[in-house]
Structure 1
Amino acid sequence: MKSDSNRARPTIREVAALSGTSIKTVSRVMNGVSTVDPALAKAVNQAARKLNYRPNLTAGNLRRVDGRTNTIGLLLKDISNPFSSALHRAFEDLARAEGFDVIAGSMDEMPERESELINTFISRRVDGLIIVPTTSDHKYLEKERKSGMQFVFIDRPANNFVADTVVATNKKGAQEATEHLIHHGHTRIAYMGDSQEIYTASERFAGYKAALTKAKIKIDQSIIHHGVKDLKALDAFTSSILTGSNRPTAIFSSQNFVTIEAIRALTKHNLSKKIALVGFDDLPFADLVNPGISLITQDIQKMAETASRLLFNRIKGETQKAELYEIPTIFTQRGSGEL
């Protein structure tokens, strides 16, 4: 018996032929036009069911008067990262409520991947883009904006490109975390974070330094580490500071993956209950370990709601001046930061 697994998808022309109607009539039925003769609509629907025909929604949307496809593109650092995945889910729910679909991609801190994804999404006729930016220069987006594309940046601002932006209070949150450790008697506080080329990492390190400076504590470069890509280097750093003669009494880790490495190192050296730890970004297991992990977290739902509102308003035609919105972080004490 010959398999039909490679059979081409049924077309609107085949539906028209089977139903004895025209392509235009099939199109009107598929688009829900109420003035189509009921008998013709019934014949078209029966033919569509028999052929298992699915209309090309993108093509249909492109024929709309407003030209919209009711889709938005979401460009994230890494969808597997808990922060990115939480953002993704929040945007999906918010978009659905507006009648929009979301397509998303990961950029992995690669500028060329950012421009590649933006071009891909625009070619798919998305109505707007929400971007966690990676590129150091976004002037190239001016051409797309002049063509009607709408942009909102989240987590980090764009460079050389003015657009609505939603960020967390990164510096303030990091300063709060470090001051919390200082108030618990710590003066030798190690810092672990991502590359200083990344906006959020730079802001959080600035908050750490501001807290030390305010408390008149000298900044010691020997207990500071930037970068998360080289796990061997990160492991070597944690081992050196935890086994040295002048080890820190506390650690501020300014990114979720870095916090995981800090927890791993403290556990390895049996110091989880001796060296305090405050992290930045949420961890799903933060309250399941002993001691629980004290964390500064971003209000992801509020950030997503703000960014979505801005983008959908732009898509609907609002032309107000671009603004920067800072969403306050949340500090949750669970034990590790209170040693």
Structure 2
Amino acid sequence: MTTDDAGERTDVRAWGDGRRLTLADVAAAAGVSIKTASRALGGEPNVADATRGRVRAAAATLGFTMNSAASQLRRGTAVRTVGLVVGDLANPFYMGLATGVEHALREHGLQLTMASSDEDAAAERAIVEDLVHRRADGILLVSTLDDHAELRSVGDRGVPLVLVDRAPSGLDADAVVIDNVAGTTAAIAGFVARGHRRIAFVGDLERLPPQRERHAAYAAALAASGLPIDAALVVRGAHSAATAEAAVRDLLALDEPPTAVFTANNRVTIGAIAAFRDVAHPPALVGFDHFELADALGISTVGADTADLGREAVDALLRRREGEHAPATRAVPATLVPRGSGERPPR
């Protein structure tokens, strides 16, 4: 997609059914791609005269008109922005992601706009719609939706979309995710190799794709080691550090407490650390997601470089803007970093 494409996405008019008229409608009527329609209406070279005439005729018939954002971009007077929508601005994971995104965008003359959905689907929809309406040059989305089919309209209106950290469902879209399966498997295999047999799983909201993947990998790793899954050792839905702390305290109070605990994200790990505060001999602990104080606290973690995740997401977005390649999902490796807590033997 060219720079001008970002401003030529949709007219304020609507069809009779109330649906907003889009550049995709013009492209379909003219029998060309969205990219070709954008170039034809934007007066760009390398478009055949016959094709340009057909696109303009379709636009005139439908009542589609150019918007001012396109001419502003051509004159260099508009700020070119990419929206990053995350689940929680207070979570350090997303701050690391944003750092990688911002540095990568800066290299291409793009600026970052960031917003949080607070893991609320309605909020996410409103933010995405606003970014499309404001002609963002692209959207990087950590989506809270279970089904992403409704996001198809974002691309139809000419805005490149890349899903980050959570793979697409019901939508062919570019995505950059963490290799949750390999990371979780490595953590559980490490526990088993040290003789642990009662290994607990404490996770965030069950509906979040990374949490589902990490739990499935935990169960598969136990099965591969010949260990049963004890439902009493599985906690899901610990969405805050405080909730996770309470959950881990409950695990420690069991008649047969776990000798090892796997926490499925950084917030849950912080809760586990708090729960271990007054425990003389705490269980082994490995948490998913690296965090800033892990070295100082001696907490073993498995995870990806979040800044690298951000850079990969920008690279995917730029490739989507420049061409019409088939959507692809890129998995960033998750690395296990032993710092002491995960290497404790069972007692």
TM-score when scaled to structure 2? 0.75
Report the AA paired with residue 158 of structure 1.
Answer: P
- Structure 2: which amino acid aligns with 1:295? T
Residue 301, structure 1, aligned to residue 330, structure 2: no
Aligned pairs (5 A) from 1:198-213? 198-213=208-223
2:97 to 87, 91, 116: 87
Q: Kindly name which structure, 1 or 2, has the bigger radius of gyration based on alpha carbons.
A: 1
Q: Which of residues 62, 67, 73 is equivalent to 1:64?
A: 73
Cα distance, 1:102 vs. partner?
0.7
Deviation at 1:259, TM superposition (A): 0.5
Q: Would you say how many aligned residue pairs link Structure 1 and Structure 2?
A: 277
RCO greater where, 1 or 2, for CA within 8 Å and sep 6 or more?
2
For 2:330, which of 305, 311, 325 is the aligned residue?
325
Q: Note if contact 1:154-1:167 (Cα within 8 Å) is conserved in structure 2.
A: yes
Partner of 2:291: 283
Does the CA contact (< 8 Å) of 2:176 and 2:332 recur in 1? yes
2: CA distance, partners of 1:279 / 1:234: 12
Ranges in structure 1 where 5+ consecutive residues have no aligned partner = 1-57
Q: Which runs of 5+ in 2 are unaligned?
A: 1-66
Indicate whether 1:116 and 2:121 are aligned: no
For 1:110 and 1:179, locate their aligned partners in 2 and report how far apart those are by CA, in whole Å. 35
Structure 1 pair 140/269, CA: closer, same or farther in 2 (3 Å)? same
Spell out the pairing of 1:1-339 with structure 2 (5 A cutoff).
62-65=71-74, 69-229=79-239, 234-272=244-282, 275-289=283-297, 292-315=298-321, 317-339=322-344
Q: CA RMSD, aligned part only?
A: 2.1
Give 1:62 deviation, angstroms. Answer: 4.3
> How many Å apart are 1:169 and its aligned residue?
0.6
The residue identity in structure 2 corresponding to 1:64 is L
Q: Provide runs of 4+ in structure 1 moved above 3 Å.
A: 58-62, 64-69, 229-236
Match of 1:27 in 2: none
- The answer to whether the 8 Å contact 2:245/2:274 transfers is no
Take 1:66 and 1:83, find their aligned partners in 2: how far apart are those partners? 37
Give % identity.
31
Q: 1:99 to 1:276 in 2, by over 3 A?
A: same
In structure 2, C-alpha distance between the alignment counterparts of 1:314 and 1:233, rounded to whole Å: 40
8 A Cα contact 2:240 2:268, kept in partner:
no
**Structure 1 counterpart of 2:218, which letter?**
Y
Contact 2:86–2:94 (CA under 8 A) maintained in structure 1: yes
Shift of 1:234: 3.8
The CA deviation string for residues 102-143 of structure 1, in whole angstroms up to 9 with x for no partner, is: 101011110001101001112221111010111123222222
Per-residue CA distance 1:209-263 (angstroms, 9 max, x = gap): 1111011111101011001236665444322321332111111111101111111
Distance 1:230 1:131, change over 3 A: closer
Q: Is the 8 A contact 1:111 1:134 kept in 2?
A: yes
